Amino acid sequence: MPSFIAACIQLRSGKTPSENANVAEGLIRAAAKDGAHYIQTPEMSNVLVRSREELMERISEPAEDAFLAMARPLAVELGICLHIGSLAVLAGNGKVANRAFLIGPDGQIQASYDKIHMFDVDLPNGESWRESATYEPGRRSVVADLPYARLGMAICYDIRFPAIFRTQARAGAQILTGPAAFTRQTGEAHWHVLQRARAIENGAFVISAAQGGAHEDGRETYGHSLIVDPWGTVIAEMNNDAPGHLLASIDTDEVVKARQRIPAIANERDFTCEVAQELKGETA
C-alpha cells in the first residue's frame, strides 16, 4: 500500500498527564474517524512543566504513564499506527527521558527513540532553557517500518541537525518526523524552512505535529503542525496554535520520483575538511 492517510494532532499540553491524555484521545479518535492510518502527536504530549522538581513529581516510568496507557489500547481499537511524538518519562538515573513511542495496530510498542539533541540556550527575549540539566540525551537514531512505509524518528530540536535525517534516508526512510514544542519566537523564524529543508535535501515526506498556544506552565509554543512532501511543498498545515488535527494523503511513490529527479543521496561522496594555511605573504 504505497498510499496512506497521515494525521498530526496539535495539543496544548498542561501539567496533568491524565487530562492531557483525555484531550489527545478525543483528537486521535477524530483523526481516525476522518480516515487516518498513521497518527502523530507532538513532543511532550503527556506534560509540559518548566520546574524540574514539579516535573519529577508528575511523571512516571513508561509502564505507569497515563498517556501511554491510553494510547496502546486505543491503537488496537482504531486499527492505527500511533506515533507518540514524545513523553517525559523517568530515565531511572535521576534524569528524564524525552522519549517517542511508535505503537502498532496490535498495541505493541514497535520502536522508541530518545531525543538526542538538548536545547540549551538563552534567548533574546529573556527566556532561558537548559534541557540537559533535566533530560538524559539519546545516543541512537531510529528507523522503523510501518505497514506502508519506513519512518525515521526525531524530536523537535533534532530538526536543526541534518545528519540524523540523512542517516535515516540512507537507511531507506521515506517518512521523516519532527514532533515538536517549538517556542513561538523560534517557530515564527525557522519552523517552516527547517521542515521544508529536511524534506528537500532527503527527498522524503516530513510529518511534524506541534504543541501550540499559551501553556499552563507559562511557556508559549508556535503550533502550525504540518506535513511536507518530498519536493518541499507544504501539503497540510494547521495555520494556528489551537488544539486540533490535520490530515494528508501520503503517496510513497513521490519519494521515488523526487530521489530520481534530484539524486542527492546517490551522488554523495566522502570528503575531508581541511583548514587552509595562512599564505604568509604569498599572492595567488
At residue 278, what are phi and psi to the nearest 5 degrees?
Answer: -60, 140
The C-alpha angle 257, 84, 121, rounded to 5 degrees, equals 90
> How many Cβ atoms from other residues are within 10 Å of residue 142's Cβ?
19
DSSP class of residue 37 equals: S
Any idea which residue has 517556542 for its cell? 183
Q: How is 35-57 classified by DSSP, letter by letter?
A: T-SEEE--TT-S---S-HHHHHH
* Length of the chain counted residue by residue: 284
Helices 162-170 and 184-202, packing angle to 10 deg: 30
**Contact 40/6 with Cβ under 8 angstroms?**
yes
CA–CA distance, 197 with 204 (Å, rounded to integer): 10
Q: Catalytic residues, which ones?
A: 43, 115, 156
How far apart CA 12 and CA 219 sit, in angstroms, is: 10
Q: How far apart are CA 81 and CA 101, in angstroms?
A: 10
